[in-house]
Amino acid sequence: MTARWLPLLDGARDTLPMLVGAAPFGVIFGTLAIGSGMPVWSVLALSALVFAGSSQFVAVSLISGGAALPVIWLTTLVVNLRHALYSATLLPYARNLPARWRWPLAFWLTDETFAVVEQRLRSRGMADDGQWHWLGSSLAMYLNWQLWTLVGIGLGQNVPGLAELGLDFAMVATFAAIVAPQLRQRPVAAAALLAGAVALLARELPYKLGLMLAALAGVLGGLWAENQGEPPAPQEPT
């Protein structure tokens, strides 16, 4: 059991740069959510049960704008459809894991964790307790997001105008760092180009519909490009 702490800690360590980038994003989310009139318990529940930064921001924006629940549900669902690409990429490695591993790892999968875990799995597969490395990265991101959401709630209640300081730029830089190395892969490049083009063309649509369409276009474009090439040879977990 002691040996398994090592890949667990390695996963958390490898995710450290992402934790730093996500911290201002969590603070801004907590601040904006409280500023929109949401009660503290609902903001904490959103981070704990949804755990998807982009969707949470969209949800807060729609809630504050008085959007209907079906619009909120559909929009956040489509925004998170990019996880279908992540799941398809990681499935060859996770296929033989028992359900008690697959379910929590699927819930905790984020852009940052995917970037860390996919690189490790591509080079080493599930050897050397790869699922523990994956779990370490997942738990680090999850606990980090809860912590900074809580900090954002506290600051939002006591420091006016915090959301206007531009701290969210750190997350833009983090996403750029995640995406840039992946652009050498055709599915990722296709998804990025299509999503960017659609987001630009549909930016004037209400209720964040442009973002929803961009996410859908990116997922479909990435899946199409994935199907055009040869499937990667999966490495079976040990």
- Mean pLDDT of all residues in 2-11: 79
- Other C-beta atoms within 10 Å of 173: how many? 11
Query: Is residue 200 assigned to a domain?
Result: no
- What pLDDT is stored for residue 168 in this prediction? 56
pLDDT surpasses 50 at 149: yes
pLDDT surpasses 60 at 234: no
Which of the two residues, 221 and 180, has the higher pLDDT score? 221
Q: Which pLDDT band, with edges at 50, 70 and 90, does 145 fall under? A: very high
Helix (H, G, I), strand (E, B) or coil at 133: helix
Query: Is residue 38 assigned to a domain?
Result: yes
> How many Cα neighbours within 13 Å face the side chain of 179?
17
Helix (H) or strand (E) holding 54: helix 53-64
pLDDT tens sequence across 198-217? 888 888 887 667 777 887 78
How many structural domains does the chain have?
Answer: 1
Query: Is residue 110 assigned to a domain?
Result: yes
Query: Is residue 76 assigned to a domain?
Result: no
Query: Is residue 230 assigned to a domain?
Result: no
pLDDT surpasses 90 at 235: no
Query: Is residue 128 assigned to a domain?
Result: yes
C-alpha of 95 from chain center: 21
Which of the two residues, 139 and 224, has the higher pLDDT score? 139
Query: Is residue 152 assigned to a domain?
Result: yes
**Parent domain of 54:** 2-66+98-167
Residue 53 near residue 33 (C-beta atoms within 8 A) = no
Q: Which pLDDT band, with edges at 50, 70 and 90, does 193 fall under? A: confident
Query: Is residue 189 assigned to a domain?
Result: no
- What pLDDT is stored for residue 151 in this prediction? 93
CA–CA gap between residue 208 and residue 123 (Å, rounded):
38
